[in-house]
Amino acid sequence: MAIINVTPDSFSDGGLHFSVDAAVAQALACVAEGATILDIGGESTRPGAAPVSPAEEQARILPVIAALAGRTDALISVDTYRAETARLAVAAGAHIVNDVYGLSHDRDMARVVAQTGAGLVLMHTGRGRETDKVADVVADQRIFLARQLDMAADAGIRREAIVLDPGFGFAKDRDEDFSLMARFHELRDIGFPWLVGTSRKRFIGAVTGREQASDRDVATAATTTLLRLSGASIFRVHNVAANRDALRLADAVLAADHGGGHKENEA
């Protein structure tokens, strides 16, 4: 999954793909490098980022989604926590709703996803959960995701349409991120595919000493390898080519371990 930020202020590449033409060109370049999903977002989710209005978010992303829908066979994901933006994005050609609040921000989001038949990336978050968050990172994943999966089921979202995201870097400190990475295999029994997004994040920079987000691609590829070996299926990244190489190596190890039964294209 390639990250296409149609924003002026995203932490890594804000402003680089802010026009429709630039965003479409970047998305198609990512497809050429091996991306099979394009995640289009119009509001930065970095800590401290200024929120944008629904109208501004939609003005940024809907023309990009519509343009890409006619030019690529890649799946298109909309990175939004607003139900109305999600509805309009699916109408414009998006296939997946990637909600960083995991259905907990907009009460209409679950209904819109169900009605449109879109896929759903349901992400764990600690934002706004100070009263019910528990200290154990794996237990907290289970508590939040179980509740949100019940909400999805009650709304009529198909189980097979859901992918889970542990939310690396979202309302988690560095120790929590690395503990979650070390114990990621413990989440496999929940029974859904997992998407992970570690790309260029601050906790990687804290360990590597790379202050510039764009200098963190090598370390990002290392986390991709580790998480693939622990069971992750989809990888949300800025640098597609580097992470595809990392996945090929990880899948070669998995294939050897499973007697050749593991298929590389699952990544």
| Active centre residues (catalytic) | 201, 236
Whether 240 and 264 have beta carbons less than 8 Å apart is answered as no
Whether 152 and 110 have beta carbons less than 8 Å apart is answered as yes
Q: How far apart are CA 25 and CA 64, in angstroms?
A: 10
Strand pairing report for 119-123 and 96-99:
parallel
Residue that is written with structure tokens 């080519």 in the block: 241
Whether 77 and 98 have beta carbons less than 8 Å apart is answered as yes
Residue that is written with structure tokens 């542990």 in the block: 166
Q: How far apart are CA 168 and CA 60, in angstroms?
A: 25
DSSP H helical segments within the chain, as ranges?
Answer: 20-33, 54-69, 83-92, 109-116, 137-155, 174-182, 202-208, 217-229, 240-257
